[in-house]
Structure 1
């Protein structure tokens, strides 16, 4: 498994675990981050979307889909931008910035790994 595939695999596990938690026990997850309890379906829909993205990331990592990995870098770097905007506009609590930081860190890790994998390929 390439370094970039491994980085995407790790991120996929985070997405699958967190998404599953939001589907099964959303208020438990929310309470950990001091976010108000909710009975709206939207939090479970967010969990479902995280689960689906996690599945796609997992399958892409199994298949070494380098182009997909590049796409995830750009997409994951957009997450903190939007989450910070939501917080600044008063739409969301500041704790959401933590999740943006996780996405950004994962994206940067994958970007570095993609470069390292390219060097390895060029040396062959």
Structure 2
């Protein structure tokens, strides 16, 4: 398994934890980020979506799906930017940024892993000539 695929697999596991918690105990996570509890369905729906994203990340990692891995770098950086913006303009508690930081660090890990994988491939190819 490549380094980038491994990083996606770890990200999938993170999503496999967060998603179901949002489905069954969303107010637990909301309390961590200092947001008011809710009984609305949207948070449970978000948990389902997060869980499905975990499935996509897992399958992409298993099959070394490089386009997905590259796209995940950009989307995770966007999550960080969006969560930071939401906190900055008062739409969410500043604590929400911690979830954004998890995405930022995961995205950076995948980015550098993709670079390392590419370098490894070049080294292998150079050794074959």
TM range (shorter): over 0.9
The answer to whether the 8 Å contact 2:35/2:92 transfers is no
Q: CA deviation at 1:24?
A: 1.0
**In the alignment, what sits opposite 2:99?**
99
Q: 1:106 and 1:13, CA in 2 relative to 1: closer, same or farther beyond 3 A?
A: same
Q: Counterpart of 1:93 in 2: which secondary structure?
A: coil
**In the alignment, what sits opposite 2:38?**
38
**In the alignment, what sits opposite 1:118?**
118
**In the alignment, what sits opposite 1:64?**
64
Where do 5+ consecutive residues of structure 2 fail to align? Answer: 125-129
Write the distance in 2 (CA, Å) between the matches of 1:91 and 1:32. Answer: 16
Aligned residues: 124
Where do 5+ consecutive residues of structure 1 fail to align? Answer: none
Q: CA deviation at 1:29?
A: 2.4
Write the distance in 2 (CA, Å) between the matches of 1:16 and 1:52. Answer: 9
Write the distance in 2 (CA, Å) between the matches of 1:32 and 1:99. Answer: 10
Deviations 1:57-99 (A, max 9, x none): 0000000001110010011101111111111221111111001
Q: 1:96 and 1:33, CA in 2 relative to 1: closer, same or farther beyond 3 A?
A: closer
Q: Normalising by the residue count of structure 1, what TM-score does the alignment of the two structures yield?
A: 0.95
- Rg larger for: 2
The answer to whether the 8 Å contact 2:33/2:93 transfers is no
Q: 1:9 and 1:54, CA in 2 relative to 1: closer, same or farther beyond 3 A?
A: same
**Please, which moves more after superposition, 29-38 or 62-71?**
29-38
Q: Counterpart of 2:121 in 1: which secondary structure?
A: helix
Write the distance in 2 (CA, Å) between the matches of 1:81 and 1:33. Answer: 17
1:4-43 to 2 correspondences below 5 Å: 4-43=4-43
